[in-house]
């Protein structure tokens, strides 16, 4: 297997099974379709949110070293799990780990617990190196990438003409609301915050970030990391919720399997089978004749339009 990291989708089913395959217990992701604090408050315990946005490649940063919103907290990097991003395409999993490895109320399993303890004394840049070199985390991450027969451009340097997307995490830690972004030099504090008022305080922060973009920009995605709803459903005997959540899990499993499958070969074989069938039925020549007549008609129409305009015919 290649040592690189592949792009994965911002999807509740992908993230839920990604963390489960890493050994995390009782965690699920819920897609937020609107910036609504009341909806967020109705969810099971919310551990944090993962925010996806178009990264402004080439955008200049404040010259005085301040954050665009909030305040850099270098000291927090020594007490929290904060890793600098040192490799492309790893930011989704890195944002997820920024919440998982900072929350004592999540059972992250032996492997991630060992990784967190191993990197605890590292500076943030070495934490990023350790994360990018973790075979376990990279293998699980890549297992959720879409199968593609084409060359991955992930190693190509991004330019200002590219659409580049980035994942960051927000969570309540040690009495403050932190923004954890591996492309920043340190965690960003957004002021006092507890788990109880996280839902209310995170929404204005996200609105301000989205407000930096033109009104036409709608390519954002927000996923809440929550306790698996099945935990509470089992505790209170809510069979309806349990059945509904189990059904969602099965649908996510199926979607994840489809992501891993390369359908190009299948489509190619179907196209060949259709062509053989048309040839056998004598319909292929008919179809080709119809296509030629349509092409001639379009060509004639273009000539007429060009003549009427007093110009030469344009080739398309």
166 is catalytic: yes
91 is catalytic: yes
Distance in angstroms (rounded) separating the CA atoms of residues 302 and 10: 45
Which residue among the candidates 91, 141, 190, 193 is catalytic per the annotation? 91
CB under 8 Å, gap of 24 or more: what pairs does 111-119 form? 111/22, 111/23, 111/136, 112/22, 112/23, 112/24, 116/81, 119/81, 119/83
Distance in angstroms (rounded) separating the CA atoms of residues 194 and 171: 9
Which residue among the candidates 141, 166, 190, 193 is catalytic per the annotation? 166
Provide φ and ψ at 279, rounded to 5°: -65, -45
Buried b (16+ CB within 10 A) or exposed e, 253-268: eeebeebeeeeeeeee
Question: Is the separation of the CB atoms in 127 and 84 below 8 Å?
Answer: yes
Beta strands in the chain (DSSP E): 27-32, 46-54, 71-72, 165-173, 176-180, 188-192, 221-227
Find the angle CA(121)-CA(123)-CA(124) to the nearest 5 degrees. Answer: 120
Cα→Cα distances 297→264, 309, 314, Å = 33, 18, 15
**Angle between the N-to-C axes of helices 283-309 and 264-281, in degrees from 0 to 180, rounded to the nearest 10:** 100
Active-site positions read 91, 166
């Amino acid at each position: 297997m290649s040592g690189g990291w592949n792009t994965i989708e911002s999807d509740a089913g992908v993230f839920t099974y990604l963390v489960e395959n890493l050994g995390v217990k009782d965690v699920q992701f819920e897609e937020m379709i609107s910036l609504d604090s009341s909806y967020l408050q109705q969810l099971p315990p919310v551990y944090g949110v993962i925010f996806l946005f178009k990264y402004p490649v080439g955008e200049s940063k404040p010259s005085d070293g301040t954050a665009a919103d909030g305040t850099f907290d270098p000291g927090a990097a020594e007490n929290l799990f904060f890793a600098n991003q040192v490799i492309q395409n790893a930011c989704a999993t890195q944002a997820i780990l920024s919440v998982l490895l900072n929350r004592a109320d999540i059972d992250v399993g032996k492997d991630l617990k060992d990784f967190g303890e191993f990197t605890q004394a590292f500076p943030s840049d070495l934490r990023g190196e350790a994360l990018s070199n973790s075979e376990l985390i990279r293998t699980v991450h890549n297992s959720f990438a879409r199968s593609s027969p084409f060359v991955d451009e992930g190693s190509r340097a991004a330019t200002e003409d590219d659409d580049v997307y980035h994942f960051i995490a927000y969570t309540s830690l040690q009495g403050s609301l932190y923004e954890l972004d591996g492309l920043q030099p340190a965690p960003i504090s957004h002021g006092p915050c507890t788990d109880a008022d996280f839902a209310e305080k995170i929404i204005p922060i996200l609105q301000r970030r989205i407000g930096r973009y033109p009104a036409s920009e709608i390519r954002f995605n927000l996923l809440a990391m929550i306790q698996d709803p099945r935990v509470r459903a089992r505790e209170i005997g809510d069979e309806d919720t349990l059945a509904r959540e189990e059904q969602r899990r099965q649908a996510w499993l199926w979607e994840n399997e489809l992501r891993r499958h390369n359908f190009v070969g299948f489509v190619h074989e179907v196209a060949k089978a259709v062509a053989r069938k048309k040839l056998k039925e004598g319909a292929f020549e008919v179809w080709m004749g119809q296509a030629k007549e349509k092409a001639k008609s379009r060509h004639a129409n273009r000539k007429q339009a060009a003549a009427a305009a007093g110009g030469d015919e344009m080739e398309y």
